[in-house]
A and B are shown apart, each in its own frame.
Chain A
Amino acid sequence: MGLETAFGHSYLTTRLDEAVNWARKYSFFNYPFVTACCGMEFMSTFASTYDISRFGAEYPRFSPRQADVLFVVGTVNEKLAPVLKRVYDQMCEPKWVVSFGVCATSGGFYDNYATVQGIDKIIPVDIYIPGCPPRPEAVLDGLIKLQQKVSKESVLDRKYR
């Protein structure tokens, strides 16, 4: 933002963090990178019963350039890995990654020639949501954890990522 370089670690920056993080954590635009059955629970989380818009994260952007959070939902195989990497690289800062389900987190039970053993082998991950697939409650819990993580960030952190 420019301000942070002028003020550094000071009262002004921490106040600015509060305001910026408050805005960021309640307005996640997410990019759903949905590859497998976890997508059903992901949709369920978006639907009215669980209603992810209560947390301000209901707006999927299907262009990575407009997205804040990359939801990797489902199995990622070696063939797809360069695509995931490219999508991540196209996202603008600030950006976060949520690994949704065991397949994205660790490969799940697909310990074979085709499957990436966790997307953290390809891109950095902020929040892991376990489950096969995770229940919508778990997804909301993961989202709240991401909000808590974002609220502790400083605008100074971003340029070092």
Chain B
Amino acid sequence: MNSYLLETIRTKFPDAVLETHAFRGDETAVIRKEALAGVASFLKAELGFDFLMDLTAADYLPRDPRFELVCHFYSSKHNYRLRLKCPVYSDDATVVSLTPLWAGANWFEREVYDMFGIKFEGHPDLRRILMYDGFEGHPLRKDYPLKKRQPRIPHRE
């Protein structure tokens, strides 16, 4: 647990970090979602994380906070990787957008919005990206009915 990265983040943002863990160099910091913008810009400006590899979410339905936003960062300069996780409550499913910092976040956030219904504040164009216009609900939510179909054209028979 003596990771330089996690130690730096913990000392810099003592109130924001809820938990950290590392498994064989796979480092994760769980932070409050209110602090995401601050931590992310610190990662980019100070620690050299120039690449947002992935941004996704998970739904842990009975749990509260229900959702978890997961961001994977990579620093091509230092060959560092870091995972940030933010618990998101279902009654306030809004997170700050990372698109101003990493342009690649744009479509990731649209996908998370499409699949989970988490909204991103400050996103330039928050529309569905995979599902079609007129699709109702967010299909990767655990309470989306398994057999529910929303055809665009009427089915035969």
Contacts and interface: CB of A to CB of B under 8 A. Distances in A.
Contacts of B156: 120-124
B78 interface: no
Which 6 residue pairs of A and B lie closest in terms of their CB atoms, listed nearest first?
A: A121-B155, A113-B139, A79-B132, A82-B153, A82-B152, A78-B151
B149 A79 contact: no
Residue among B132, B150, B157 with most chain A CB within 10 A: B132
Contact of B155 (A112, A122, A124): A122
Interface in A56-114: 78-79, 81-82, 85, 112-114
Interface size bucket, B side? Answer: 10 to 19
Interface in B83-97: none
Interface string A114-129: 1011001111100000
Residues of B contacting A: mostly: loop
Contact of B139 (A82, A114, A123): A114
A97 to B, nearest CB: 12
Interface in B115-157: 131-132, 139, 144, 146, 148-153, 155-157
A79 B135 CA distance: 10
Contact of B149 (A78, A123, A124): A78
26 contacts: A78-B132, A78-B149, A78-B150, A78-B151, A79-B131, A79-B132, A79-B152, A82-B152, A82-B153, A112-B139, A112-B146, A113-B139, A113-B144, A113-B148, A113-B149, A114-B131, A114-B139, A116-B151, A117-B149, A120-B156, A121-B156, A121-B157, A122-B153, A122-B156, A123-B156, A124-B156
A90 to B, nearest CB: 15
Residues of A contacting B: mostly: loop
Contacts of A124: 156
Interface in B1-46: none
Nearest to B147: A111
A117 B151 CA distance: 11
